[in-house]
Amino acid sequence: MYANDKMLSGLDRARVVGLIDEHRKDWSLQQAFYLDPDIFALERELWFPRQWVIVAHSSEVPEKGSYVIRQLFDEEIIVARHGDGEGDIAAYYNVCTHRGSRLCVKDGRGKLLVCPYHAWSFRLTGELQTDIEPAAAGLTDLLRENGVANARIVARKNYLTKANWKLVLENFLECYHCRPAHPEYFRVNGHVKVTAMRDDYNASEWKQEIDAWHSVIGDAEFHKGVWEPGDLDTMPYAMHRKPIGSGRLTLSDDGQPVSCLMGGRGKFDGGENGFRIGRLSFLSAPNDYLTMFQMIPRNANETDVILTWLVDKDADASVDADKISWMWDVTTIQDKKITEDNADGIASRAYRPGPYTPLESQTAFFIETYLAQMRTLITGERRDGDEAWAAPSQLYASPQAAGKAQKNGQATS
Amino acid sequence: MYANDKMLSGLDRARVVGLIDEHRKDWSLQQAFYLDPDIFALERELWFPRQWVIVAHSSEVPEKGSYVIRQLFDEEIIVARHGDGEGDIAAYYNVCTHRGSRLCVKDGRGKLLVCPYHAWSFRLTGELQTDIEPAAAGLTDLLRENGVANARIVARKNYLTKANWKLVLENFLECYHCRPAHPEYFRVNGHVKVTAMRDDYNASEWKQEIDAWHSVIGDAEFHKGVWEPGDLDTMPYAMHRKPIGSGRLTLSDDGQPVSCLMGGRGKFDGGENGFRIGRLSFLSAPNDYLTMFQMIPRNANETDVILTWLVDKDADASVDADKISWMWDVTTIQDKKITEDNADGIASRAYRPGPYTPLESQTAFFIETYLAQMRTLITGERRDGDEAWAAPSQLYASPQAAGKAQKNGQATS
Amino acid sequence: MYANDKMLSGLDRARVVGLIDEHRKDWSLQQAFYLDPDIFALERELWFPRQWVIVAHSSEVPEKGSYVIRQLFDEEIIVARHGDGEGDIAAYYNVCTHRGSRLCVKDGRGKLLVCPYHAWSFRLTGELQTDIEPAAAGLTDLLRENGVANARIVARKNYLTKANWKLVLENFLECYHCRPAHPEYFRVNGHVKVTAMRDDYNASEWKQEIDAWHSVIGDAEFHKGVWEPGDLDTMPYAMHRKPIGSGRLTLSDDGQPVSCLMGGRGKFDGGENGFRIGRLSFLSAPNDYLTMFQMIPRNANETDVILTWLVDKDADASVDADKISWMWDVTTIQDKKITEDNADGIASRAYRPGPYTPLESQTAFFIETYLAQMRTLITGERRDGDEAWAAPSQLYASPQAAGKAQKNGQATS
């Protein structure tokens, strides 16, 4: 909506810079960052347009001429396949250049996009405002190995969360809450021994589990994690590998496969690849299915949290979508609740920023990065040093998290 | 609501004048004019109170003592007949002078208006704030000839449109969209040959149709159109005459009459008189029924579009309201949809003003007039020259529109 | 919500002081005080935190470890009984000090409050932000005499009123509207002879009724009224006594008792004690039941009006809650309607402040007090003289109201 889109005055911008400068490192944000529509307007003007996000899966525009309409930061985007090549996909704003009407009102297929108002027509290759940028090439191979391009969608669900988008990410980036809040997730995932608790005995158990897994899958697979911090011009992304644990083959209730292997893999190895693509999109990849996460800010108080589940495009038609979506459906329903309770409490006049514990270091890292980028985008000043861009001391469930310290900027070795 | 009513600071007013001065002639408005609640507040403070609008039909207060409550620009207005004379009608704000309570909660009849809070009482002739001004006398005869004063209401419907009021008018003032968007209207109305398309063959066909009609109805009837541009102090209005075309007698699905003749006319002549009364009210008058249009801004994003259908007060009680309302009901439902799609697209950050084509000249004229008046109302400066007040080059379906150029300020000859 | 919580700039504060200084004594407020969210934000920041209000009845936390969650000015408050002593009750903001989540999602009982997010735990005696202050001791005895501490709740109802909280109070503080708006209340209560009308004959009738009642109950009971004006640091409160009248024993439809006597009283005396506790809470106490009134501002346009009915804790289990709540239920439903109509009219551009009549002197007094306090809170200046704090000339249904003038500051003699 426009209210979020209007330009803030210089005075208002200076106020936000003042709030950024008052921030206490490794403490949660001041209230205004979670609630103030003016700050959301600034994020929408400056920060969101710099973010790389997943808007759709290529299987959603299967043929030349196919197009779909997707919501993104209060905007409608048309994603269209205009040719037969793998990369012949473009994204446009769904706005006619004549008098601004919506061009497409539903997904479709055709040679032209015809405006329903005065019948102005546009080719799929352009003439409209485009807003797509190529993502990092370094990520493509990793996605391919997990069969992402050869997948088909089996389920999608929007867990609209009445909370500022940063609260959604702060929650998603730490597992400290997994023990009180996620009984199913806590039972299934071995990494919670170090990500949800601080206990030497547990850490040593997890270390043994990782070592055992390493000996099974070998060095080449074990060292595949990447950490690309990105900056305002390049896309940040990360991938880590870990065993699910306890002999489980995939992220299902009983640990047994729920679909066929993906990405040309020869057998189940009990691992999960976890991706962060940009700062707002994620991908969870056990051996036989994918969960794609899109966190899309709607306004200062609401965030769309859209999960999409995919299996190999040649998987049996009878795969059980409920079994496939079980782990992240039950977990995201719980996250929606605790994040909304968090938002509710933060709106109180009693709210004060609180300290992140070491188990919340990725959350703290995200907050520092966000603030440093916002400051640069508002003032134009790029700070000396790049501490803000360094990796957090504890990466989410990375092998290194199992007890030993992490060097800055070296998430994997 | 109050939010729309609050006074903008001098700084905010200067910003709006700046936006006005940035306007590119004959292009659609910048986004803020369609979406910014502050600009709507300014319109409500300065522009709306200067507009003449239809609030009710005299048949709605049939006897001395009758009163009705009507919504107008977020205000409630009491329209009361306080005497037996034709002009003994007054309009008051529905607000008690004691502590501000609503006075009347529903339409009624009585000697006094009694406040339900503390029982303060008011005569129908006054003591309350009034806000009515006499409309142009020049219009009265034209309305009388169409039997407007001797009509009764057969149907009313509110097509609440989620769009800024200017988008509603921009749509209503051009027929370029009639071909893609209004199949029924396009089929029935001959004038679309020049108002919805630019094609010499069609224009020449329409010219022949007008000439044939001229020879049937004679000069006196043919030259009845008027164009009163109005300014900030006098009411603008316009009337044009045209044949419906193709031998149709009225604006009905099959072209056949739907009620008896109005206004003392002796026979069906296949014509339609179209009125603009002020800038926000319209009247369509084929020979046997009237459609009254009230466009009432509710807030920056919503507009009430109220249509009322009337027939002669002595028409048969069994007239078919569905047949009477058919043309404008089906058309207004379509207009609501395309106007809302327009509003939706305009809210995008991709929206940029676009050019009006020659088929949208009345729309462009409305926009120029609106901007010139807003500028004068904000700054107090009246611009030299009065180009802004000149008639558009193509008047809606006027006889002159049939192929020949229009002189400035001379819509009829 | 945050929008109401944000700090207004110095410029905006100066604007409000300007509006305060424009106020005309004994006239209703300018529109902005009833509608402007900025002024509500200022009230929420400065004025509401200075107000003493009823948040719960002690019977709602009956045992050590019991706690309840209550809404207060858009905040959630936990009221907990942490010990066995009568005063071992504390109130906390329902906000975790870690990352701000809601701590409790429903009423409960336990030794610790455990946050559902990361399981941080808090003892009932503290560690959280507290916000309770002791109320005036002078009031305690008066409440005890009416059996307030030994009561149990039989009914509760929220009459959410879509009006600014000041309109709710302005209505509650005068009975001028009782004749047109409250037929049941007008029939039952003798005091309306002087509070709802200005008529010497009625006033003299009411004087006789009071004199007769005085002779029955004696001096000690008759002179129990108090008037503690309070200021920004001390709690204002008031209590007055009056006969219900016409031989009625309690505030019921037929005047007959609806429960057993409260507070150790030996017999029905036909009187009602009326309390004002702070500026937003009230208590009506005939001999056999209590009605507790909580007016809680929700935002600039909505106010929770929560009524709770209580009887003696040992009263028969079969008491009829409908009979007990009858008087104030029927009256508050009517007040909700007229207050909402008032709010609706005040939003019109035709609204102008109007004069309070002498029958509305307590309403006028509240408005003067509110404005004086707001001015002091914004500017820090305490005005010379304390006229603003003096008692109104006519106290609600006090014995002195029966025809004779009232001295400043001496509500009872």
Averaging pLDDT over each range in A331-345, C208-222, C395-409, which range is the top one?
Answer: A331-345
Question: Per-residue b/e over B113-150, b at no fewer than 16 CB within 10 Å?
Answer: bbbbbbebebebeeebbeeeeebbeebeebbebbbbeb
Per-residue pLDDT of chain B (413 residues; tens, 9 = 90+): 343 345 566 767 888 999 999 999 889 999 999 998 889 989 988 999 888 889 999 999 999 999 999 988 878 999 999 999 888 898 899 999 889 999 998 999 999 999 999 988 888 886 776 665 656 677 888 898 899 989 999 999 999 999 999 999 999 999 999 999 999 999 999 999 999 998 899 999 999 999 999 998 988 888 888 888 888 888 899 999 999 999 999 999 999 999 999 998 999 999 999 999 999 999 999 999 999 999 999 999 999 999 999 999 999 999 999 999 999 999 999 999 999 999 999 988 889 899 999 999 999 999 999 999 999 999 988 765 444 444 544 444 343 433 333 333 332 22
Residues of C in contact with B1 (CB under 8 A): 35, 347
Q: How far apart are the CA of C11 and the nearest CA of chain B, in angstroms?
A: 11
Chain segment C56-104, per-residue pLDDT in tens: 999 999 999 999 999 888 789 999 999 998 888 988 999 998 999 999 9
Count interface pairs A-C at CB distance under 8 A: 78
The structure tokens listed for B87 are 């002009």
Q: Any chain A CB within 8 A of the CB of C93?
A: yes
Supply the pLDDT for residue C389. Answer: 43
Supply the pLDDT for residue B12. Answer: 79
DSSP strand pairing (C271-277 vs C281-286): antiparallel
Q: Pick from B95, B117, B118: which is nearest to C350 by CB?
A: B95
Q: Give the model's confidence band at C134: pLDDT under 50 very low, under 70 low, under 90 confident, else very high.
A: low
Q: Pick from C3, C75, C98: which is nearest to A354 by CB?
A: C98
The greatest distance separating any two alpha carbons of chain A, rounded to the nearest whole angstrom, comes to 70
Supply the pLDDT for residue C234. Answer: 85
Q: Do C94 and A338 touch (CB under 8 A)?
A: no
Chain segment B284-337, per-residue pLDDT in tens: 999 999 999 999 999 999 999 999 999 999 999 999 999 999 999 999 999 999
Q: How far apart are the CA of A134 and the nearest CA of chain B, in angstroms?
A: 20
| A140: enclosing H helix or E strand | helix A137-145
Averaging pLDDT over each range in A36-40, C202-206, C285-289, which range is the top one?
Answer: C285-289
Report yes or no: A356 and A363 within 8 Å, Cβ to Cβ. Answer: yes
The structure tokens listed for B400 are 């002159």
Q: How far is Cα C374 from Cα C16, in angstroms, rounded to an integer?
A: 9
Residues of B in contact with A41 (CB under 8 A): none
Q: How far is Cα B102 from Cα C340, in angstroms, rounded to an integer?
A: 9
- Amino acid (1-letter code) at residue C224: K
Q: Pick from A37, A342, A352: which is nearest to C117 by CB?
A: A342
Residues of B in contact with A116 (CB under 8 A): 180-181, 338, 341
Supply the pLDDT for residue C384. Answer: 54
Candidates A367, A349, A348; CA nearest to A171 is: A367
Count interface pairs A-B at CB distance under 8 A: 76
Supply the pLDDT for residue B275. Answer: 95
Nearest chain A Cα to C96, which residue? A345
Q: Pick from A76, A102, A116: which is nearest to B180 by CB?
A: A116
Q: Please check the confidence at residue C397 and state whether its pLDDT lies above 60.
A: no
Q: Any chain B CB within 8 A of the CB of A94?
A: yes
Nearest chain A Cα to C75, which residue? A348
Residues of B in contact with A76 (CB under 8 A): 344, 348
CA distances from B345 to A2, A46, A104, A107, B400 (A): 11, 21, 10, 16, 34
Give the single-character DSSP code of A408. Answer: T
Number of H helices, E strands in chain B: 12, 13
Q: How far is Cα C362 from Cα C170, in angstroms, rounded to an integer?
A: 8
Q: Any chain B CB within 8 A of the CB of A6?
A: yes
Supply the pLDDT for residue B67. Answer: 96
Q: Do A100 and B170 touch (CB under 8 A)?
A: no
Burial of residue C331 (number of CB atoms within 10 Å: 0-12, 13-18, 19+): buried
CA distances from C281 to A14, B148, C231, C274 (A): 42, 58, 16, 11
Q: Do B96 and C181 touch (CB under 8 A)?
A: no
Q: How far is Cα B19 from Cα B9, in angstroms, rounded to an integer?
A: 16
Q: How far is Cα A111 from Cα A125, in angstroms, rounded to an integer?
A: 10
Nearest chain B Cα to A76, which residue? B348
Supply the pLDDT for residue A135. Answer: 63
Interface of B with C in 356-385 (CB under 8 A): none
Supply the pLDDT for residue A213. Answer: 92
Supply the pLDDT for residue B17. Answer: 92
| B18: enclosing H helix or E strand | helix B10-22
Per-residue pLDDT of chain A (413 residues; tens, 9 = 90+): 333 345 566 767 888 999 999 999 889 999 999 998 889 989 988 999 888 889 999 999 999 999 999 988 878 999 999 999 888 898 899 998 889 999 998 999 999 999 999 988 888 886 676 665 656 677 888 898 899 989 999 999 999 999 999 999 999 999 999 999 999 999 999 999 999 998 899 999 999 999 999 998 988 888 888 888 888 888 899 999 999 999 999 999 999 999 999 998 999 999 999 999 999 999 999 999 999 999 999 999 999 999 999 999 999 999 999 999 999 999 999 999 999 999 999 998 889 899 999 999 999 999 999 999 999 999 988 765 444 444 544 444 343 433 333 333 332 22
Q: Any chain C CB within 8 A of the CB of A186?
A: no
Report yes or no: B200 and B233 within 8 Å, Cβ to Cβ. Answer: no
Supply the pLDDT for residue C365. Answer: 93
Count interface pairs B-C at CB distance under 8 A: 78
Q: Any chain A CB within 8 A of the CB of B348?
A: yes
Q: Which residue has the tokens 């940040």?
A: A236
Chain segment B325-362, per-residue pLDDT in tens: 999 999 999 999 999 999 999 988 889 899 999 999 99
Q: How far is Cα B172 from Cα B339, in angstroms, rounded to an integer?
A: 10
Q: Do C99 and A28 touch (CB under 8 A)?
A: yes
DSSP strand pairing (C112-114 vs A108-109): unpaired
Q: Pick from A37, A177, A349: which is nearest to C75 by CB?
A: A349
Q: pTM of the full predicted structure?
A: 0.81
**Angle ∠(A93,A94,A95) on CA atoms, nearest 5:** 95
Q: Do A96 and B345 touch (CB under 8 A)?
A: yes
CB atoms within 10 A of CB A374: 20
Least confident of B3-7, B119-123, C298-302, C379-383: B3-7
Q: How far apart are the CA of C195 and the nearest CA of chain A, in angstroms?
A: 41
Alpha helix segments (H runs only) across C196-320: 200-217, 219-222
Q: How far is Cα A351 from Cα A343, in angstroms, rounded to an integer?
A: 10
Name the E strands within B362-406.
none
**Angle ∠(A346,A350,A354) on CA atoms, nearest 5:** 65
Supply the pLDDT for residue B382. Answer: 78
**Angle ∠(A222,A226,A232) on CA atoms, nearest 5:** 170
Q: Any chain C CB within 8 A of the CB of A176?
A: yes
Q: Any chain B CB within 8 A of the CB of A100?
A: yes
Q: Do C2 and A344 touch (CB under 8 A)?
A: no
Taking the CA atoms of A9, A15, A16 and A17 in sequence, report the sign of the dihedral they define.
positive
Q: How far is Cα B294 from Cα B328, in angstroms, rounded to an integer?
A: 13
Residues of C in contact with B119 (CB under 8 A): 179-180
Q: How far is Cα B228 from Cα B239, in angstroms, rounded to an integer?
A: 9
Q: Any chain B CB within 8 A of the CB of A105?
A: yes
Candidates B80, B82, B110, B78; CA nearest to B95 is: B78
Supply the pLDDT for residue A411. Answer: 29
Q: Any chain A CB within 8 A of the CB of C5?
A: yes
Through-space distance between the first and last CA atoms of chain B, rounded to whole angstroms? 45
Candidates B135, B103, B157, B93; CA nearest to B322 is: B157
Q: Any chain C CB within 8 A of the CB of B12?
A: no
Q: How far is Cα B27 from Cα C305, in angstroms, rounded to an integer?
A: 52
